[in-house]
Amino acid sequence: MRRRALFGVAERPATRARSAQVALMGPRSEFVVSGSDDGRAFVWERDSGRLVNLLVADEAACAVAAPHPALPMLATAGSEGVVRLWAPTVRTKAARVCDIPG
């Protein structure tokens, strides 16, 4: 699989001719985040590979899952044309904070 690093984000080929990004998240880059063709965003522990969160980010395809450089927030975007912001909460591992229409 060909990977190209760009500002800490590696781009990987995705199925069905879409492109998804993979990025590191956390103060010590301890998590890996990525969107998928089925509209979900995945969060894994970098060292163990254990899936720690699964977010329904888009109705069709989540092409981008981009972490904030300093805050515990994640932005996702896909074919709906909406950017969704996610942040941890007390009750769940992550909750959608807001939707920003395109």
Residue 3 has pLDDT above 50, yes or no: no
Number of domains in the chain: 1
Please indicate, yes or no, if residue 14 is contained in any of the structural domains. Answer: yes
In terms of Cα–Cα distance, which of 60, 58, 29, 59 is closest to 44? 29
Q: From residue 22, how far is each of 62, 74, 85, 101 by CA, in Å? A: 11, 12, 17, 23
Please indicate, yes or no, if residue 85 is contained in any of the structural domains. Answer: yes
pLDDT in tens, 33-74: 999 989 899 999 999 999 998 998 888 888 889 999 988 899
Please indicate, yes or no, if residue 102 is contained in any of the structural domains. Answer: no
Residue 87 lies in domain:
4-97
